[in-house]
Structure 1
Amino acid sequence: MRTLFPSACLLLGLGIGGFIDGIVLHQLLEWHHMLSGWYPRDMQANMLADGLFHLLCLILVMAGVALLVRAAPQAPPDRGRRAFGWILAGWGWFNLVEGVIDHLVLGVHHVRSGAGQLAYDLAFLAFGAALVAIGTLLGRGRVREPG
């Protein structure tokens, strides 16, 4: 039987990655909002879209927690490190999917619009790829038996 543990942690990572993006880039730095590429002056539409985005992130986190509770009996002995790894990988997948679709394909928004916006978007993708690689290594890693 295949365990739900990695999937649960990846789902958590997707939601957490979205929350980090929304809190840091949307709210704290004010670099963009969900629809700022399409409606740069319509704050009402952007705030509504940001709120719906955060609601989606919350649903992902809640689903991840529910799956994690269900997967607990089959969790590996080194579950803390593996969970951290898969959560990082989920965050990275969030960056990659959201970055390609919203930033590059649809142009809904960019990480930071203006001069150098492509560099910011590519850095966001590179950071996401690094999170996926590091997280997957941690999540799949085997524990060394003592002695």
Structure 2
Amino acid sequence: MTGAIRYLLPSRMLERSWNVVVVGAGGTGSAVLPSLARLHHAMLELGHPGGIDCTVFDDDTVSPTNVGRQGFYPNDVGEYKASLIVNRLNALMGTNWRADPAIRSGRAALQRRSRDRLRRYAGRSGRDCWRGAAHPGVLPRLR
């Protein structure tokens, strides 16, 4: 291959923050969120005007079996996963992200956020309530 690789982004992605929703802060979410925080930091350092604006939805709490397998520690047991991860990243990376641990219906959470012109959706969760939210019929309405 010769020449530079060129990436084409819609101009709006260069003009304002990217809205990202992560549904589930367990195995996948606790691994993805620190990388999103690093990407947010890199974007700001390179002159992006807003970086990433993230909201994390998960109503589950940390159990002893989550320690070691997910991004949690023994003193986290019993706390809400979404709040723990978001508060930790806000303190360490200077983000101003939000956690919503009280949402019991993934579909309701995504529909509520879609009214705020959600631009990105990320996440996967093994919990049945979130599987319903990730149904293809819900996601097209978010774009």
Q: So what's the TM-score if we normalise by structure 1? A: 0.34
Higher radius of gyration, 1 or 2: 1
Higher normalized contact order (CA 8 Å, seq sep 6+, divided by chain length): 1
More helix by share: 1
Q: So what's the TM-score if we normalise by structure 2? A: 0.34
